Structure 1
Amino acid sequence: MEPSGTLARLMQALRCLPGVGPKSAQRMTFHLLQRDREGARQLAEALWAALEKVGHCAHCRTLTEGTLCPICADPNRDRSALCVVETPAEAHAIDRATGFKGVFFVLNGRLSPLDGIGPEELRLDLLERRLQSREIREVILATNTTVEGEATAHYIHEMAHRAGIRTTRIAHGVPVGGELEYVDGATLTHAFNGRKDFYLPRGDNP
């Protein structure tokens, strides 16, 4: 007999998580309701609190409870080096693994015209303002090595070029098509420390 009603709605809701299919969602649902109702209650409360309290940092757009995230609020960070990533998880991975002492800009996505994601959705207007502030001397492109990630890197390179700012790209070593948040720390450190100047293909440089 297939679950219905509240059980079915919970299973469907759990499938919004990455990597969770119908069977995994069913196992989670039965585990929470049969064996760990207190854990389920705590999970529900934590999710609700996060939805109510967590928003985007006014400077870098990562997830935070305050107006500014801890990195943007830290006066000891090097604000001349700006690392552009696709997700908050990737900013966290770079900050944890590489010893990078600069600041971040989190796109919360990547350019994908077919999906209706353009510069406005990524708030590249905020990034352009930061590039025009004359505070930044290097933009480090750490977008993923997918087709969309590369297109996003090219777009941001052009923005930085117009502002007269040096642009670097983290070195390959991160697998093509890979997601930074799942790369081990040693590989990520090697790629980050081996970053190089970013150039468009011949004939495409502004």
Structure 2
Amino acid sequence: MPCSRRRKAVPGLASDATAQRYRRAGARATLVLATIATSLASAGPGDPALARFIEETDSAGLQSRFDGDFEFQVGGGVASFDCDGDALPEVYVTGGVGKAKFYRNRSSRGGPIKLLEERSGLELTGANGAYPIDIDGDGHVDLVVLRVGEVQLFRGLGGCRFERANDSWKFRSDNQWHSAFSATWER
């Protein structure tokens, strides 16, 4: 039976109307945009930092849907990271059985959120989680993409360009269901 990210109740949302908008949105990354909006907002000197959340998923350009059978019930992963050095977070959204999408952040500080979908080589199917991390220590964001299938590692090249790195980093994973990730470094 397909697992849709639509819910009857959305814990933590302010109103029934908000919950209905969330359900209609097909579980797009609304909370990610709230995070981006918070990071773009600036309080004046001495003003307390008060978060104010506004639904901007559609107007920002984020159009994504996570769907799939039971293997995808723990998914819907989103990664937010700056890969072009402009201090604005780009967004990678997994799609379950559909293709994952990469959105370049073209917002201006204090202005509306503007995310543009771009081809990045990260458009995988079967993706259910993503983790930005600098695996090789070169200062560029790399990306670990968990999948129903082989886990994919992508080396960041700068300028929001990525290349598959499983072979060059000698990484192999089973062609299984992957839903968790952790990394540590030792000297």
Q: TM-score, normalised by structure 1?
A: 0.25
More strand by share: 2
Higher gyration radius (CA) = 1
